[in-house]
Amino acid sequence: MSIQVAQSAGFCFGVSRAVEMVEQAATEGKKVVTLGPIIHNRHVVNRFDEMGVRVIELPEEAEPGMTVIIRSHGVSRDVMERLKSRGVEIVDATCPFVKRIHTIVEKAEQAGQLPVIIGTRSHPEVEGIAGWCSRCRIFESAEELEEWAQSGEISPDFPICMVSQTTSTEISWKKSVQIAKKQFTNAKIFDTICRATESRQKEAAQLSASSQAMVVVGDAKSSNTGRLAMICREHCPIVALVDNASELKPEMFQNVAEVGITAGASTPAWIIKEVNKTMSEIINADAVQEESFEQLLEQSIKTLNTGDKVIGVVTGIGNTEIQVDLGTKHAGYIPYDEVSADPSVKPEDILHLGDEIEVFVVRVNDQEGTVQLSKKKLDGMKIWDDMATYVEEKTTVDGTITEENKGGLVATVKGIRVFIPASQSGVAKGGDMAAMLGQAVQLKITEVNRARRRVIGSIRAVTSEARKASQEQLWAEIEEGKKYHGTVKSLTSYGAFVDIGGVDGMVHVSELSWNRIKTPAEVVKVGDEIDVYVISFDAEKRKISLGYKTAEMNPWNQFMTSYNVGDVVSAKIVKLMTFGAFAEIIPGVDGLIHISQIADKRIGKPEDVLAEGQEVQVKITDVDAEHKRISLSIRALLEPVAEEAEAEAEEAPVEAEAEAPAEAEAE
């Protein structure tokens, strides 16, 4: 005789999330209401009612200052807008999978597609989905969809977008997909059945096929519970859909030895546990009486001691603890804070009904018949074993930097605090170690002292290995002319050292710029990322000569592509000579203004008219590309002005003479 509970029985992710959000809001002292029952289970709703959480049916029932929780089924856009206008705090507990469908149908309509929903019209989830588009079609079966498609209401090439209620059966959905593909040439199909629902339904089918009777636990109003019962009836002759253990009757299961139990997504674990216990009493009553005296005696005297490592099976997941069957007279339980060392981990995410787990015995209470267990302590003991192995095998592990102190950094590795000395942090001396806080890093465990609970690690050991591997690869592939993206590591008076992948090469000061520079710091600084190329290398001596300046950066090339003879440009006087002045047109390119081209009259020396640093307008009069020489002239810009002035001067006396008689006559 046996009872098997489906592993997927009970709360799904979306329902569990919604229940937690209500519990959290209720414990914060807020005036909490839910818009409709948070889930389809009267026991959960009654429990929240006892906590002061009441149910409202319409947004208009919400009062300013209330916290309104949207149930996991979700609501329409209109309902959401009406709630926002009420001046309330909205906590949206809509299942993320349902929320995704809202987005799909909304975008589909905006794209000119007709949303088609496969699901129960009256179901709150479907009503909510339909409320995120202005028009849609809802079909409860594949046959309905086919009849509509063949009615001629819309053209076969009209674009449609088909989605499903998350709790639809896989069979109905697949039939609908086949029809949509056959009837419509422009159909976008999104499989939106919740995978948890699919898994639950498949497991129910398999379990019911191998059982003499099935018990489906859940609220009769729940859509997914009803579908589970329907699936089970297809494979098993006896199926009982019960709300709780009190509805189970022995006469339902006469001559039944193998029973399967499954539950809807809205059924809490404690109800499943009660059903399991009651069914055990019903079908195993005679078997218990037939057990031998020796077996009963062995069970009664089987003892547990603090410090034991034992194996048990998870039989219940409560609000504060996990129930574990150890196969003894003791009732085992794991407090939530003893499940994992990671505070962000939720117990129900890592432990499920039916899981076989190894635990550590913390405390045995023979009087009460209970034993407190810890998964965290046993995991911790195993982690210390792992740490010792990491040292021996020089394993690289992942960690997160959580602290900084004067001696170095602290990382968390699998919940263990690992100290990383400053010299092993990979941060240069005097560098900002605080910048590493919160970063995910790779490190090696170098020392473990279990007695003192001290672990030392090294980031530098990992980076050193990586750097060595990178160096070997670089030297194997290097060639003249090859380009690299590197980082400037240091500067000297004669050049810059650049890391090009674990190997430093040097860019000589003459290769940094086409302009005249005194120090490398005029062009680059430590930390700059620059593109360089290999000029030459010596693999034996491990030396690399790099170039930074390129033909594209050559000022002469830039000048030749941007300027022409006859152009007037602004230039800066950079040097005065006896025969003229040199003027900078662009950085790195100078032109000569001969002394005869400085002014429109003879001058003794250039400094009589010009000064170093002065900005002047010049005309490019000649370019000698072969010798890279440029001739400039200021006079060429002055001569037209001078000629115009002379012309005006010549005309002035004539005008005066012509006007003189008139003036005389006037007198």
* Residues 4, 610: Cα–Cα separation, whole Å: 103
3-state helix vs strand vs coil in the chain, percent to 5 = 35, 30, 35
- Assign 3-class secondary structure to 553-572: HCHHHHHHHHCCCCCEEEEE
As a residue count, the chain comes to 667
Instruction: State how far the Cα of 455 lies from the Cα of 386, in Å rounded to an integer.
Output: 12
494 within 8 A of 521, measured Cβ to Cβ? no
**What is the amino acid identity at position 241?**
L
Instruction: Please give the span between the terminal C-alpha atoms of the chain, in angstroms, as a whole number.
Output: 146
Tokens describing residue 190: 């999104």
| Measured CA distances, 249 to 164, 242, 282 (Å) | 37, 10, 8
Amino acid at position 418, single letter: V
**In contact, 582 and 616? CB cutoff 8 Å:** no
* Pair 333, 323: CB distance under 8 Å: yes
Catalytic residue among 81, 125, 281, 358: 125
- Name the helix (H) or strand (E) containing 250: none
Kindly state the tokens that stand for 642.
């001078």
User: What is the dihedral sign for C-alpha 313, 317, 322, 323?
Assistant: negative
How far apart, in whole angstroms, are the C-alpha atoms of residue 460 and residue 470?
15
d(CA 58, CA 553): 71
Nearest Cα residue to 4 out of 281, 248, 214: 214
* 140 is a catalytic site residue: no
Residues catalogued as catalytic = 125
